[in-house]
Amino acid sequence: MFHAQWNHWSRAKCFQHPRFGTSTDGPKLKAEDKVTTAAATEICPLENYLVLPDQTMDARIAAARAKLGSTAVILGHHYQRDEVIRFADFTGDSYKLAKISSQSKADHIIFCGVHFMAESADVLGNDFQNVILPDLNAGCSMADMAEIGQVEDCWEQLVKLGLTDEAGEGITPITYMNSTAAIKAFCGERGGVVCTSSNAPGAFDWGFAKSPKLLFLPDQHLGRNTAFAMGVPMSDMVVWDPFLIMGGNTPDRLRKAKLILWKGHCSVHQRFLPEHVDKVRARHPGIQVVVHPECRWEVCQKADAIGSTERLIQVIEKAPRGTKFAVGTEIHLVNRLGKQFADQDKMVITLDDSGCLCTTMFRISPQHLCWALENLVDGNVVNRIKVEKDVKHWARVALNRMLDIKTGGHVPAPAAMVAAHGTLQD
Ligand code: SF4
């Protein structure tokens, strides 16, 4: 009863002057400022939604989505919770979603993911498009581990050592998609590129064809796993700790290194440990262990296959009936795959029993999505992600280079998996 009253009150307030079925032509708004125009109604506050239970959101989200029609597209990352991702027009990993958003003609791109993904969508999008992140607190702990000031400081030290010039003649900087737009722009301006876990091997090939050394930001694990699979020995890799002088390295080590790995990691994937692989194999003989390359090297070395979330899904899809999988990635995707393939007698469980949750992805709730959509219907753009013009230019250069690089490369696939399903880079 209480909830029904809230629901009624909230709807009455939020739909005072509905503009259902119309597109939002006219000046585009900075949603982080929560701006309205004379044509828009008063913004309905988020607080009105947060007190409502999840199940009351479904019909409202569906109704608002229908009213917005082709003026809006909802993108959902695989790690989103079920209550949100069920409304996505497209689902995918950050690479796939970046490609989709770059091709979208919708006025509004509602990105159910984290901040750096929405930034990339804005960088790749058109000026008339609004990219909306339903909760601005949905960040990424890995992206936060490389701040632009720290990266500029690192570069200055490498220039002083004579290992590169300012423009990147000597070292190619490559950043993982999971980084701020400022870091992407830094790489773009110095002849570098962005990569994702789908195309990291291709980006490394591209970088090594240009220069003898790479600086890889911010995920040391993806960098190490990718380079090792390409045949770069561990002795040719160094880790750059931004809190130490020269990253904690001697000049000689930096001169000899082929790959400088930024000391960052994903707090979710780093939780998977080699002993989890041993335990799950003891408990389920014959189980296939498949992991994301953000996992530690020691875990990846024990796994049967390594791949981006898109690749992991493909491997499970292609496997014969009855195959058992332990998956080293975010728990929402693992649980979803478990349900999806249950009717094929495939068992899909998490590699770590405690389940690894990305708490920042989890911040996007049905209430946030409903709030963003209903305000859009009312002509209010909330939580718009807008990247500064200069940053946007160079970040776009780096992202466009990425989109030109072929997905795949030297991702290792063990003999059993290759025989059964082909390689992961198929
Ligand atoms: S899973 Fe890790 S890398 Fe991905 S958004 Fe969450 S914290 Fe960032």
Average pLDDT over residues 181-189: 98
Q: What is the mean pLDDT of the chain?
A: 87
Q: Whose CA is nearest to atom 3 of ligand 1?
A: 266
Cα 204 to Cα 56, 103, 217: the distances in Å are 47, 25, 12
pLDDT, tens digit, for every residue of 51-86? 999 989 999 999 999 999 999 999 999 999 999 999
360, 362, 364, best to mutate for ligand 1 pocket (most atoms within 8 Å of CB): 360
Residues 56, 117: Cα–Cα separation, whole Å = 28
Look at residue 22 and tell me whether its pLDDT is greater than 60. no
Residues 196, 95: Cα–Cα separation, whole Å = 6
What ligand 1 atom has the least distance to the C-alpha of 266?
Answer: 2
78, 141, 329, best to mutate for ligand 1 pocket (most atoms within 8 Å of CB): 141
- What beta strand segments (E) does 89-153 contain? 90-92, 108-112, 130-132
Query: Half-sphere exposure of 223 toward its Cβ, with a 13 Å CA cutoff?
Result: 31
Dist. CA 354 → ligand 1 center (Å)? 17
Average pLDDT over residues 174-202: 96
Dist. CA 78 → ligand 1 center (Å)? 11
What ligand 1 atom has the least distance to the C-alpha of 141?
Answer: 7
Q: Contact 223/179 with Cβ under 8 angstroms?
A: no
Q: Which of 350, 332, 364 is nearest to 140 (CA)?
A: 364
Q: Which of 122, 121, 116, 120 is nearest to 138 (CA)?
A: 116
Average pLDDT over residues 378-386: 96
DSSP characters over 151-201: HHHHHHHHHHTTS--TT-SSEEEEEESSS-HHHHHHHHHTT-EEE-TTTHH
Local structure of residue 375 (DSSP, 8 states):
H
Q: Whose CA is nearest to atom 2 of ligand 1?
A: 266
Dist. CA 350 → ligand 1 center (Å)? 16
What ligand 1 atom has the least distance to the C-alpha of 330?
Answer: 1
Residues 179, 194: Cα–Cα separation, whole Å = 9
Q: Contact 249/238 with Cβ under 8 angstroms?
A: yes
Give the pLDDT confidence score for residue 8 in this predicted structure.
38
More confident position, 179 or 199: 179
361, 362, 364, best to mutate for ligand 1 pocket (most atoms within 8 Å of CB): 361
| Burial environment of residue 258 by CB neighbours within 10 A (0 to 12, 13 to 18, 19 or more) | middle
Q: Whose CA is nearest to atom 8 of ligand 1?
A: 140
Give the pLDDT confidence score for residue 403 in this predicted structure.
84
Give the pLDDT confidence score for residue 406 in this predicted structure.
65
Average pLDDT over residues 381-388: 96
Look at residue 13 and tell me whether its pLDDT is greater than 70. no
pLDDT, tens digit, for every residue of 306-345? 999 999 999 999 999 999 999 999 999 999 999 999 999 9
Dist. CA 269 → ligand 1 center (Å)? 8
Grade residue 9 by pLDDT with cuts at 50, 70 and 90. Answer: very low
Residues 181, 131: Cα–Cα separation, whole Å = 14
pLDDT, tens digit, for every residue of 144-159? 999 999 999 999 999 9
Local structure of residue 43 (DSSP, 8 states):
P
Q: Contact 361/330 with Cβ under 8 angstroms?
A: yes
Signed CA dihedral, 278, 279, 280, 284: sign only: positive
Average pLDDT over residues 258-272: 97
Dist. CA 266 → ligand 1 center (Å)? 6
Question: Rounded to a whole number, what is the distance in angstroms from the first to the last CA of the chain?
Answer: 54
Residues 289, 303: Cα–Cα separation, whole Å = 5
Q: Which residues form ligand 1's pocket by a CB distance below 6 Å?
A: 79, 114, 140-142, 178, 266-268, 330, 358, 360-361
Give the pLDDT confidence score for residue 355 in this predicted structure.
75
Residues 344, 91: Cα–Cα separation, whole Å = 22
Residues 26, 243: Cα–Cα separation, whole Å = 47
Grade residue 405 by pLDDT with cuts at 50, 70 and 90. Answer: confident
pLDDT, tens digit, for every residue of 341-370? 999 999 999 999 887 899 999 999 999 999
Dist. CA 223 → ligand 1 center (Å)? 15
Dist. CA 298 → ligand 1 center (Å)? 19
Dist. CA 268 → ligand 1 center (Å)? 6
